[in-house]
């Protein structure tokens, strides 16, 4: 089966692999890590994840280097964010030790699915934490399931590192100002589905959400954060309703390291007119350069790429990030762990 995989053409999607790993929280404690070859989970019909959205997930990637070794990028940040998500919707927290044991085990068990160096693909890990115990009243579950499955993936936006078109939505909000936008819980994604569907139907790669309260500031680009570049400065929105992206946090560090200034602050939609380059960033998206952004309700189109090519700063950021992730560039920030 692995022989038939065309690593260079992989979409961002699900592929069956050998195993997944699971751990159950019962009677106030986590049990032993279990290995499963089933793609299904057996769950109580009154589980809180099914009724009240008590679930959180993570997204992370493992890369094969030129030396054949597998590298994991900033896993502690994913573990930390999953704990923040757990606290945010009153779930049991997954300790670091359990998180990394599960990550290492699931990679080891599926090692032949880690795409080869140079293919542009990587092994995507999807940690999932769900309320598995029954409740009918609106209350947190007493039991939880933490699991990780993996899938080899290509770029999230099928264009890869090529500029894409995005649209601004003013019809829907993804997250409320004091809601759950800053944690990685399923409800945020459910709330974005109509908008993303509309964007895809109209031929856009994604939709950009504005802040829910004033509809004045950029929040984020569907499943990725937004950044703009101007005057040698990397600018990215600060908002309480966006997911604090680990990729974005890394790009802020890389940007400073390569001599750019950085600003994390509110970004008014009208500032889009002034950027020289723009992009979306995230684990799945890596960096997706933006060609154009259409804000149809105010009749504006902003265009960034020249001759359909990514800008020079986005390109440098992309190459540096990928270089660190695959081991081609020295990991001077200590972000990579060899598995």
Residue numbers annotated as active site:
184
Measured from the CB atom, the residue of 92 and 224 that comes closer to ligand COI is 224
179 binds, among ligand COI, ligand PLP, none (CB under 5 to 8 A by kind): none
**Three-state DSSP class for 43?**
coil
> Binding of ligand COI at residue 155 (CB under 6 A)?
no
| Nearest-angstrom CA–CA distance, 90 and 95 | 15
Binding map of ligand COI across residues 239-268, x = CB under 6 A, - = no contact: ------------------------------
**Given phi > 0 = left and psi -120 to 50 = alpha, else beta, which region is 324?**
alpha
Q: Which stretch binds ligand COI (CB under 6 A): 48-56, 259-267, 276-284, 308-316?
A: 276-284
243 binds, among ligand COI, ligand PLP, none (CB under 5 to 8 A by kind): ligand PLP
Measured from the CB atom, the residue of 129 and 141 that comes closer to ligand PLP is 129
Nearest 5 degrees, angle CA 244-CA 327-CA 65? Answer: 110
Query: Which ranges of the chain does DSSP label H, i.e. alpha helix?
Result: 48-52, 75-88, 96-109, 186-201, 246-257, 312-326
* CA nearest to 82, candidates 47, 122, 127, 115: 127
Closest CB 196 distance from ligand PLP, rounded Å:
11
> Binding of ligand COI at residue 283 (CB under 6 A)?
yes
> Binding of ligand COI at residue 281 (CB under 6 A)?
no
Residues that bind ligand PLP (CB under 6 A): 59, 220, 223-225, 243, 245-248, 282-283
Closest CB 152 distance from ligand COI, rounded Å:
14
Residue 221, beta-bridge partner list: 208, 224
CA dihedral 197, 163, 182, 22 (to 10 degrees): 80
Q: Which of 223, 237, 279, 311 binds ligand COI (CB under 6 A)?
A: 223
Measured from the CB atom, the residue of 61 and 64 that comes closer to ligand PLP is 61
Measured from the CB atom, the residue of 102 and 260 that comes closer to ligand COI is 102
Q: Which stretch binds ligand COI (CB under 6 A): 105-113, 228-236, 249-257, 282-290?
A: 282-290
| Nearest-angstrom CA–CA distance, 210 and 227 | 14
Query: Burial code of 49-69, b = ≥16 C-beta within 10 A, e = fewer?
Result: bbebbbbbbbbbbbbbbeeee
Q: Which of 127, 155, 282, 311 binds ligand COI (CB under 6 A)?
A: 282
Measured from the CB atom, the residue of 141 and 286 that comes closer to ligand PLP is 286
Query: Do the bridges between strand 277-282 and strand 286-295 make them parallel or antiparallel, or are there none, so unpaired?
Result: antiparallel
Residues from 35 through 64 that contact ligand COI (CB under 6 A): 59
To which residue do tokens 């999230």 refer?
156
| Nearest-angstrom CA–CA distance, 318 and 73 | 15
Q: Which of 284, 290, 324, 336 binds ligand COI (CB under 6 A)?
A: 284
Q: Select the residue whose beta carbon is closest to ligand COI and give its number.
A: 59
Q: Select the residue whose beta carbon is closest to ligand PLP and give its number.
A: 282
The beta strands (E) that lie in 86-194 are given as: 122-131, 144-153, 164-169
- Contact residues toward ligand COI (CB under 6 A) are 59, 223, 282-284
């Amino acid at each position: 089966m692995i022989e038939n995989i065309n690593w260079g053409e992989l979409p961002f999607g699900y592929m069956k692999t050998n195993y997944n790993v699971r751990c159950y929280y019962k009677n106030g404690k986590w049990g032993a890590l279990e290995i499963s070859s089933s793609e299904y989970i057996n769950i109580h019909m009154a589980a809180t994840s099914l009724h009240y959205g008590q679930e959180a997930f993570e997204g992370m990637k493992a890369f094969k280097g030129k030396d054949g070794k597998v590298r994991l990028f900033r896993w502690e940040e994913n573990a930390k964010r999953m704990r923040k998500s757990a606290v945010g919707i009153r779930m049991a927290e997954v300790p670091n030790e359990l998180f990394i044991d599960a990550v290492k085990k699931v990679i080891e068990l599926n090692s032949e699915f880690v795409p080869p160096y140079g293919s542009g693909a990587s092994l995507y890990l999807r940690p999932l934490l769900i309320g598995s115990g029954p409740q009918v009243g609106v209350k947190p579950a007493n039991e939880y399931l933490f699991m990780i499955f993996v899938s080899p993936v290509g770029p999230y936006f099928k264009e890869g590192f090529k500029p894409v078109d995005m649209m601004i939505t003013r019809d829907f909000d993804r997250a409320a100002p004091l809601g759950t936008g800053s944690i990685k819980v399923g409800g945020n994604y459910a709330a974005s589905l109509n908008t993303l569907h509309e964007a895809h139907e109209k031929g856009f790669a994604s939709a950009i959400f504005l802040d829910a309260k004033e509809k004045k500031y950029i929040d984020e680009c569907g499943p990725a954060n937004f950044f703009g570049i101007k005057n040698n400065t990397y600018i990215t929105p600060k908002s309480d309703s966006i997911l604090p992206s680990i990729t974005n946090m890394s790009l802020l560090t890389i940007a400073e390291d390569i001599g750019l200034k950085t600003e994390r602050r509110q970004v008014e939609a009208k500032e889009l007119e002034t950027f020289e380059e723009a992009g979306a960033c995230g684990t799945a998206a890596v960096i997706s350069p933006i060609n154009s952004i259409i804000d149809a309700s105010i009749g504006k189109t902003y265009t960034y790429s020249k001759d359909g090519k990514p800008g020079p700063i986005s390109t440098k950021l992309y190459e540096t990030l990928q270089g660190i992730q695959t081991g081609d560039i020295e990991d001077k920030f200590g972000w990579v762990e060899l598995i």
